[in-house]
Amino acid sequence: MSAQLPANLSVETVREISDARDEPEWLLEARLEALEALDELELPDVIQTPGRRWTNLEALDFESLVDPLNQSDETSREAPEDAVVLSFTEALDEYGDLIEEHFGSVVDLETNYLTALSAALFTTGTFVYVPESVDAEDVKIRAEMNSRSLFSHTLVVTEKSSSVTILEAIESGNDIDDARYFSNLVEVVAGENSYVQYGSLQNLDEETYTYSLKRGDTDTYSTINWIEGNLGSKLTRSDVETELNGEASETKIVGAFFGHDDQHLDVNARVWHNAENTTADLVTRGVLDDEARSVYEGVQDVGRDAWSTNSYQRENTLMLSDESEADASPKLIINNHDTEASHAATVGQVDKEDLFYMVSRSVPEQQARNMLVEGFFVPVLEEIEVDEFRDDLEELIAARLH
């Protein structure tokens, strides 16, 4: 189902955004092509059963949510000396050719209505470039959203035999009376034998609607690991994807979410095995309280030429309230018989025997319950390499508990 094009979007609007940043002609043309495509593109697919779409993106009122010429953010970037970490606009001067080569090469800007909207209107974002054989220290990107709408585009390029870990965090800044909309597209181009861990933590206020698509492309022997944490926002649509295009390349997609009140989280992890000897591990853990709702889709797609594939998927949701609701749809698509793969999803409540054991040893019931919830997230927390990211996520989880 498509969305109506907001009246405040026009060629003149896109040109004004591009001119204000003194962008090259190729980027303006890419924006204008995305804008033109909006008339024909559909909203992202959502899981549906007869009579019910599990996430109602059609209810988003883009006319009121999108204010393209008044976008504002406060972003800090902590960069190691041996890697290039610049705002997208700043990077165009010095690395324009490299950005032109890879911009839109991993994420098809016309994947759907929301990706095209983001490509046409983005005003913030980061360019990360790690030269060959450099083991870069941690990159930290912390952003505050200070406007009604904000569109971001981040591009990561790692050369042969390099490595980097990245923490990206977004939260709300200035108070806005109206509902907000945040969009984030991330592309990772991992060169041969390179390693990327990309951690993202979303903690926007609960009047905000968010859409993010993070997608990586692996070369031979390279690895892309994603850590995706979602605690904020009224409605979250999060897609994390890897295309394993290089022989013996690997990916891990680790997700954590914690919804309460009437939050709605639509979380998706997808991987395509397109080369031989590739490995994927998809792990998602979520907790729901009050009337919160989650939708999860995990896809492992093994291509015909993906010999000796290993692919695993696990999704577990813990519900703390009888009014919360969780739906999961793990999918395994195998087109090559030389594959070892598994997938599973569970939904349950706090284990009564574990709770009884702790209460019987004088731990107050509420404290015991909170300890079990925190312990539920340990398999996710253990995957995070940036200490600061792990600490932030632990603090947000602890704050969410009563």
3-state secondary structure 145-173: ECCCEEEEEEEEEECCCCEEEEEEEEEEC
Query: What is the average pLDDT across 114-118?
Result: 97
Report the pLDDT value the prediction gives residue 371, as an integer from 0 to 100.
94
State the pLDDT confidence band at 52, using cuts at 50, 70 and 90.
confident
Q: Residue 287: inside a domain, yes or no?
A: yes
Domain count, the chain: 1
CA atoms within 13 A on the CB side of 322: 0
Q: Residue 396: inside a domain, yes or no?
A: no
Query: What is the average pLDDT across 22-51?
Result: 94
Query: What is the average pLDDT across 18-45?
Result: 96
Residue 262, both tokens: 């009437």
Q: Residue 332: inside a domain, yes or no?
A: yes
pLDDT digits (tens, 9 = 90+) for 250-282: 999 999 999 999 999 999 999 999 999 999 999
Percent of the chain with pLDDT over 90: 89
Those residues whose C-beta lies under 8 Å from the C-beta of residue 50, and which sit 6 or more positions away, are none
**Model confidence, pTM:** 0.96
Q: Residue 358: inside a domain, yes or no?
A: no
State the pLDDT confidence band at 1, using cuts at 50, 70 and 90.
low
State the pLDDT confidence band at 5, using cuts at 50, 70 and 90.
low
List helix spans (H) across 38-140. 62-65, 88-102, 113-121
| Secondary structure (DSSP) of 191-255 | -TT-EEEEEEEEE--TTEEEEEEEEEEE-TT-EEEEEEEE---SEEEEEEEEEE-STT-EEEEEE
pLDDT digits (tens, 9 = 90+) for 298-311: 999 999 999 999 99
The interaxial angle of helices 88-102 and 25-37, nearest 10 deg, is 80
Q: Which domain holds residue 324?
A: 11-351
State the pLDDT confidence band at 392, using cuts at 50, 70 and 90.
very high
What are the start-end ranges of the E strands in 260-308?
Answer: 264-273, 279-288, 293-302
Average pLDDT, the chain: 95
Q: Residue 384: inside a domain, yes or no?
A: no
Report the pLDDT value the prediction gives residue 49, as an integer from 0 to 100.
82
State the pLDDT confidence band at 53, using cuts at 50, 70 and 90.
confident
- CA separation, residue 295 to residues 56, 244, 284, 318 (Å): 11, 25, 12, 13
Q: Does residue 222 carry a pLDDT above 80?
A: yes
Q: Residue 37: inside a domain, yes or no?
A: yes
Report the pLDDT value the prediction gives residue 215, as an integer from 0 to 100.
98
Q: Residue 217: inside a domain, yes or no?
A: yes
pLDDT digits (tens, 9 = 90+) for 336-368: 999 999 999 999 998 889 999 999 999 999 999
Query: What is the average pLDDT across 41-68?
Result: 90
The interaxial angle of helices 387-400 and 365-376, nearest 10 deg, is 140
State the pLDDT confidence band at 137, using cuts at 50, 70 and 90.
confident
CA angle centred on 126, ends 177 and 212, rounded to 5°: 55
Query: What is the average pLDDT across 361-383?
Result: 93
Query: What is the average pLDDT across 130-135?
Result: 97
Report the pLDDT value the prediction gives residue 343, as an integer from 0 to 100.
93
Q: Residue 313: inside a domain, yes or no?
A: yes
What are the start-end ranges of the E strands in 274-387?
Answer: 279-288, 293-302, 309-319, 325-334, 339-349
